[in-house]
Structures are given as C-alpha cells and as structure tokens.
Chain A
Amino acid sequence: MSTILEMRAITKEFPGVKALDQVNLSVAKGEIHALVGENGAGKSTLMKVLSGVYPHGTYTGDIVYDGQVKSFGSIRDSEDEGIIIIHQELALVPLLSVAENIFLGNERANRGVIDWRSTRKGAAEVLARVGLDEHPDTIVDNLGLGKQQLVEIAKALSKNVRLLILDEPTSSLNETDSEKLLDLLLEFKSRGITSILISHKLNEISRVADTITVIRDGAAVSRLDCSAGISEDDIIRDMVGRSLDDRYPPRIPHARDEIAMEVKNWCVTHPLHAEREVVKDVSFFVKKGEVLGIAGLMGAGRTELAMSLFGRSYGAHIRGEVSINGAPVHLPNVRSAINAGLAYATEDRKTYGLVLDDTIRRNVPLADLEGVANGIVVNNAKEVAVGNQYRDRLNIKSSSIEQETVNLSGGNQQKVVLSKWLFSDPDVLILDEPTRGIDVGAKFEIYTVIRELAASGKAIIVISSELPELLGITDRLYVMNEGRFVGEMPTEDASQEKIMATIIKSGDQA
C-alpha cells in the first residue's frame, strides 16, 4: 500500500516546553491509523501541526503528503488538500441549521448570494453518506451529540476529504452512537478515505485500527501493526512506560486514624441534561494527614464530583451525604463549604481561580477576607503581611505582591490559587489538576507543599490525569470512570498499568 502521509522528525516547542520531539508518523493510504497516548502526550499538538493550526515555520520537520513536501500556513491550506480535522469539542454553530453548518465558510453561492437549493441538495447528499436521517433545515442544537458528530463528519465529506482526523470522537457519545461512528469509519475505509483516530478507548482501537502509533512525552515511542495481533496490555505498556525518577518529594505516610471527610452515595446529574448522570453513587473517605488521589480519564466526572461537593458549584439533583470530622454537614453554597473546612482549587485557574487583573496581594485573601480585616474594614498592613508571607512560603516569583496575577507564569499563578486556599485554612483541600501546564520545577514545589500539608494533619484530595503524578505523591487512590468509582488501591500497590487496566475493564463491562 502506498503512503499518503509522512511526518518526519516533527519538533514543536512552546516557551519552556518541548511538546513534540522528533516525532515520525507514517500513514498508509486507505487505512485507519490510531494515535494513542496519555493526556498531554502530544497527540493533539501533532495533529494541529498537520492541519496548519500551527503554521509552517513554527515547528521543524517535514510533512510529506501525497509524495510532496507541504507547508501549510493555515487550516484553510490543509483543508484544500483534503485534510480535515474534527476536534473533540465540536465546532458547530448551535443555532444554525444542519445545511448552513455543513457549508459554513464554504458556502454554495453565486457572487455572495447563497444558492439555497444547491445548499440543501448538497447537504442531503452528504447526510445520506453518513447515514444521518435528518432534514437539512433542522437546527443543530436540536440534535443529540451523536448526530452532531455525524454532521461534523458530513461537513468534512462536503469538502472532499481524503484524510479525516478525528480527535476523541466517541468521548461524549453513548455506546450505540460510538458503534455507529466506528462502522462509518470502516465504511469510509472501504471507499478509500484514510482516517487518523485519536482515542483513549483501546477496545475501539483494536476493533477498527490497522496501525497504531503510540506517543509518549512528545515522542513517538512505537508503531504497532494490528494485523500481527496485539493485546491491549502491549499498548498500555507503551503508553505509560516511563520511569519515576526523583521528581517527587519523599512520601512519608502521615495518615492518621481519624476520618476527615466521608461522602456516601453521592449522585449528580448534568445541569442541562437531566437524564445524564455525571456522578453515579460515589462513596469515599479521606483521613487526616492523607493525600488521596482520584485517577481517571478526562470526562470521567472527577471535576464534577469535586465541584458538586464544594457547595453545589456544579450539577443538579445532587443527592448523598457528606460528613466532615465525623459530623454530617449540609453544604448548599460555597460559603458554607468554606466554613465547614473545605477548599477546592480549580483545574482552570484563569477562569475559575484568579481575578487576573488584580494583584497577588488582593487575590490571596479573597476566600477569607475577614481574616485580613477588622470588622468590615480591610487592614492593609495585615493584608500586605499575609501576601508576603505566602509569597515567601510558596516561593511565588514576582516583582512584589503588587504584581497583577495576569502577568505571572502558570506555575506562579497556581501558587497564588494555592495560597488563597491555604489562607482559608481548610481541613480538607481538593486540588483539581494542580500541576496542569506548569514546568517541572514548579511542580516539585507544589508537590512538596502538598506533602507538608499532609504532615500537618490536613486531608488532601488530588485529582489528576497524570498517573505518574498520582503515583508519586498520593497515599491511596480511587479510580473513577464514567461517573463511578471503579477501583480503590493503596498507592504502594498501584501501577500505571493497573490503573489503566481498571479503567479499561470497567469500560468494557459497561
């Protein structure tokens, strides 16, 4: 079979981070090529290089497509060559019709005037090819996610796609819709359309893929031929097989026998879709002085669990019981959760964590302004003292506490968020992806703070998609998948393979 695409020695650097390092990818014409790897391994970055999101010149290496070296300056360029990428978050305009969405940016028009007859006819044709039985005038918002995904694919077909890239296409689909989508890929294959499939779901990959490329830490580590017969275990080993050096502070157990927080039968439904249960009957506990990890893939429901516990900041129809330090508590809003001794440091520090235009000094006491005030009057001297205290303690690199947080690096912003919650003096601290997008040095400092807090008797819950991190800093782990806790293990008995296997087994059962 001839090769349609070859990416040679692609290297892409972001300031301070090498996202891709000499990656090679070779895709044969007419195959389904799977790209697997952990969150943040570099899969999406590689596909953005390919599709021109990162234009030629911002990376090094060559893209050879159809035997020619290409230099795409924009998505438009790659689309003209028939390379279409469908992102994880759908790019449809919800209030436009199916037909309008399919031809968005590529309108069937005569001198700027849209030819509606041709638009509808063209839409109906591509809809038939993806097997979607909907009228072209249907408003996209009225369709389910599975059908919206098909509209995206129909849109790709309308552009004469030759290489279709799907980024986690089934992550938000149910079983039936996923099956349909995979069947569609197989059908495209029979028609000669090449696909690149990015997925976490290894059972799906082993079903449809011809070849698998595993990416880890920005490098392509292996290329597996599915016709030779490979097991999921092989894939998992390649995905996670990296060593843990001393990237983590020593883990001295501090867990005491008293339970700091216990949650029983916690259920949460999606705030807009009442039929979607995002957290299903979750029960767990965390002891004082313990660092507890919650592992799981993106979309497993971990953030939703944490935010619903934190004063019902997420979700609807929340049911279940919470007790803190042995006493049952009712936490209808964030203030009551903070007062009960709970803190939640968000995974998205820019949107939910910081008032970016404000200074470090003003962000740190935000969750406990009374702590720096006499009555209702803010005590400037106290506030400055608190700001400086946390700036020193967490080593926040800044010109002074009067620096606006928008100008800090990711790691230092995260330290400000952490400072805010440390100042509120919680008993139970939930950290959601505490080291996302920050450099190795800052990570170590944050890990050290986490271990110190545990030593002082605080209970810490760490939510993370990076398994090595969880294995490096936690004492005990829960594994979450599709809204449920599907496994629990002491960290000393856990391994990345074991966690991945737990996730995948629970997925296969469902």
Chain B
Amino acid sequence: MTQATTNTTDDQPKMEVKSSWSFLRSHMREYGILFALVAIMIFFQITTDGILLKPVNLTNLILQNSYIIIMAVGMLLVIVAGHIDLSVGSVMGFVGALAAVMIVNWDIPYPIAAVLCLIAGGIIGMAQGFWIAYLRIPSFIVTLAGMLVFKGLTLWLLAGQSVGPFPKQFQLIASGFIPDLFNGEDLNLFSLFLGVLVALIIVGLAVRSRMEATKTGSVEEPFVFFAAKNGLIFIALIYMSWLMADFRGLPNVFIVMALLIAVYSFITSRTTMGRRIYAIGGNEKAAMLSGINSKKLTFFTFANMGVLAALAGLVFAARLNTATPKAGLGFELDVIAAVFIGGASMAGGVGTVVGAVIGAFIMGVMNNGMSILGIGIDWQQVIKGLVLLAAVVFDVLNKKKG
C-alpha cells in the first residue's frame, strides 16, 4: 500500500531564504569535512610545534600525497557511478615498472615512454571496464582479479628486482618545481603570483555563479556562509602558496593536481556527462529509462581510472627514482578511504571531487602529523581506520536525522 506518504512536505513553498542555522544543519556534510580538515591541521600545527606548516614540510606533504589525490579524482567517478576499483594500487605499480623497463632497460626517450604508459593505463582500465559495463560482472570481483593480475605482472616485469635510476629530466615530474620567471630573491615570486591568481579566479567564479543564482532566485546559501567560505579558501590558498614560494616554489606535481581537480570538478558538476554519471549511480534503472547509456559511461569511468592510475604510477616512480615490485601496494585502500571520507556514498550517486581531495588531505595530514609526533605505524593505522569509520558513521546518522 501507500506507506511513503508519512514524511511528505506538502506545505506551501517558502520564499524566504532559510535561516543560517537550518542551512548549516542541512549542509552539515559539506562544511563538516572542511571544518574537520582545518581542525586536524590546527591540532597538528600545535602539537608538532609548528612543524606541520613549515614550508619544507608542507611541500613534502603535497608531494607525498599527490599520487593518492590523482587517483582519488578517478576513484570518485567510479564510486559515484556505483562501482569500486580495487586494482588501482597494482595498476599504478605496474605502470611504474613499465616506465622503468622502457626508460632504463630499453632506453626509450622518457616523453614517449610516459605517453605509452598513459595509453597502457587506459587499455588496462578499458579491459576491466569491459567486463563490468558490458557483461555486468560485479566491479568488486573484476578489479580484485585485476589487482592480483597486475601485482603479478609487476613482479614479472621487474623480475623481482628494483629498476632505476631514472634520467634527471624524468625525476623532475615529481620532484621539480616551477621556475621563477620573475627572479625573486629568496621568494619564488612566480609561484606566489600563480597562487594569488588561482585564488582570485576561484573566488571570482564563485561570485559570478552566486550572482547568476541571485538573478534566477535560487540562492540557498546565506551570504555569511558564502563570504566566510570563500574568504577562508582565498586566504588559505595565498598563505599556502606564500609558504611554498618561501621554500622552492610550487612543485610541478602541484600544478598537475590543481589542473586535474579543476577539470574533473567541472566535468562532474557542470557537464551533461557528469550529470549522467551521477544519475546512473543514483538509480541506474531510472537513468536507463531516461535514455542514458549506462554501459558506455561505466566503461568510460574505468578507462579514465586506468589513465589516472598510470599517471600516479609515473609520479610515484619518478619520486622514488626507482620502480620496485612493492610500489603501490595497498594504495587502493588509501584512495578509497579518501573518497569515502570525502562524503561519497557506497551506493553511488553521491560525492564531489573537492570532497575526495579534502578526504585525501585529511588522511595525508594525519599520516604526516603522526609521523612527526613519532607515533608508530601500528597506531597510525588504528587511528586512520577509526577516522574512516567515524566519517561514514557521521554521514549516515546525519542523513537519517535530515
């Protein structure tokens, strides 16, 4: 019978903007995670006597987590589409090994090798996506198989040895910094300039979209929140770029990451394709009956994941300056945890790129902070596990209440 008519909201449409408090309650998730990151950073900044935000440590933090963030962006699409990819760690290790064998053993020029590696990642993603999208084999199974296969192939490719070192130029992918075009003395002025520019663009775009929304009368967010959020982002970006400019400038990887985040944020939130991926994750049957080609999109998300895992593999190999059989081991779990901490739903259809990135930073800051404090790897794992659980429990309870 009709059981679902209890929780209806048949009241007349309210035209006034909601009060700040009720808005905060209904958007707890989005702000909660940002608050959590800020709180965790403040906590470690204090407990580590300010080491956390020292320029050199901040730069390290970003370098250390770059490959997790690169993969988290791809994993977000996969999870939003209602799937999971357990193979990314192994694929990443495999591609790193492939790069090492091509560049070090076969003397293939590194730009060509890098392109070939990205293509290989795409093919691996497609090979897995084919089974999942077209034959409807559960992604958990397919990528679990992929994880074993590529772990094995990495061992075979490297013959159990570490292969390296890479040419200087290749290493710069991960360890290089953008040159200072302005020739600052102690400060990388160009990096600072870029940081300010990006901050201005982000805030500018936010203001523009808010003005658009005001015109169509669909503003939900109270102005205080809008101003506070954007102000915080603006100051944080400039402060961070100033800190890094004070060390050696913005790392190359940082630029790559920033571009990926920007592009994928745009794809997920503003394009028809992004919308369709959310729709198939939210309700695949309804999406298919709305004419959405769920097979093609699922296939795409896995192909895309493969390319990003390959990119992460290149960055990781370049950073370590060697390809080892153990590279990427267990990284898939960090990546998946980052996406779920960032608010994505296991059932699909929910999650944002920025959330996943913040989730990755939460994990990264905790790793870094706890290492500085000298907490052993044993307790680090326990604490990280509990944080993941807490984030998801918070999510579920919050949803029930709302």
Instruction: From known contacts A357-B282, A397-B12, A403-B9, infer whether A335 and B218 are also in contact, taking CB-CB under 8 Å.
Output: no
B105 at interface, CB cutoff 8 A? no
Asked if A282 is an interface residue, CB under 8 A from chain B, the answer is: no
| B293 CB contacts on chain A under 8 angstroms | 333, 335
- Stretch binding the partner chain, chosen from B196-204, B229-237, B266-274: B266-274
**Residue from the list B273, B278, B287 in contact with A376, Cβ < 8 A:** B273
Choose among A15, A333, A399 the residue that contacts B6 (Cβ–Cβ < 8 A).
Answer: A15
- Which residues of chain B are near A388, meaning CB under 8 Å? 216
Question: Does B290 count as interface, using CB distance less than 8 angstroms?
Answer: yes
Report A307-343 CB contacts with B as 1/0, cut-off 8 Å: 0001101000000000000000000011101100000
A376 touches B271 (CB 8 A): yes
Bound Cα distance from A350 to B213, whole angstroms? 30
Known: A378-B275, A398-B13, A410-B2. A355 touches B289 (CB 8 A): no
Q: Is B215 engaged at the interface, CB distance under 8 Å to the other chain?
A: yes
Question: Closest chain A residue to B267 by CB distance?
Answer: A376
User: Given A334-B289, A357-B282, A385-B216, A410 and B4 touching (CB < 8 A)?
Assistant: yes
| Interface residue B122 (Cβ < 8 Å from any Cβ of A) | no
Give chain B's interface residues, CB within 8 Å of chain A.
Answer: 1-14, 209, 212-213, 215-216, 218, 220, 270-273, 275-276, 278-279, 282-283, 285-293, 349-350
Q: How far is the CB of B22 from chain A (nearest CB, A)?
A: 11
- The interface centre, meaning the residue of B4, B213, B271 with most chain A CB atoms within 10 A of its CB, is B4
Give which listed residue, A367, A377, A384, contacts B290 with CB less than 8 A: A367
Task: Contact check, A358 vs B290: say whether CB atoms are below 8 A apart.
Answer: no
**A346 within 8 A of partner (CB):** yes
- Which of A17, A362, A401, A407 meets B275, CB within 8 Å? A362
Contact A19 B278 (CB under 8 A): no
Query: Quick check: A14 and B349 within 8 Å, CB to CB?
Result: no
Residue of A nearest to B399 (CB): A357
A397 pairs with B11, CB closer than 8 A: yes
A311 to B288, CA, bound (A): 10
CA distance A19 to B285 in the complex (A): 30
Give chain B's interface secondary structure class. Answer: loop
Is A145 located at the chain interface by the 8 A CB criterion? no
**Contact for A334 among B5, B7, B10, B288, CB less than 8 A:** B288
- Using CB atoms and an 8 Å cutoff, list the residues of chain A in contact with chain B: 14-17, 19, 45, 310-311, 313, 333-335, 337-338, 344, 346, 350-358, 362, 366-367, 369-370, 373, 376-378, 380-381, 384-385, 388, 397-403, 407-410, 412, 420, 437-439
User: Once the chains bind, are B289 and A313 in contact (CB under 8 Å)?
Assistant: yes
Query: Which residue on chain A has the smallest CB distance to residue B209?
Result: A380
Q: Can you identify 24 A-B contacts, CB atoms within 8 angstroms?
A: A17-B2, A45-B1, A310-B289, A335-B293, A338-B290, A355-B282, A355-B286, A357-B282, A357-B350, A358-B282, A366-B275, A366-B287, A366-B292, A367-B291, A377-B272, A381-B216, A397-B12, A397-B13, A398-B9, A400-B220, A408-B9, A409-B5, A409-B8, A412-B8
Chain A residues with CB under 8 A of B4 = 350, 409-410
- CB–CB A407/B9 < 8 A: yes
Among residues of B, the one whose C-beta sits closest to the C-beta of A311 is: B291
Which residues of the other chain, B, contact A355 by a CB distance below 8 angstroms? Answer: 278-279, 282-283, 286-287, 349
B8→A378 contact, CB < 8 A: no
- Please give me the residue from chain B that is nearest to A438 by CB atom: B2
Q: A369–B283 contact, CB under 8 A?
A: no
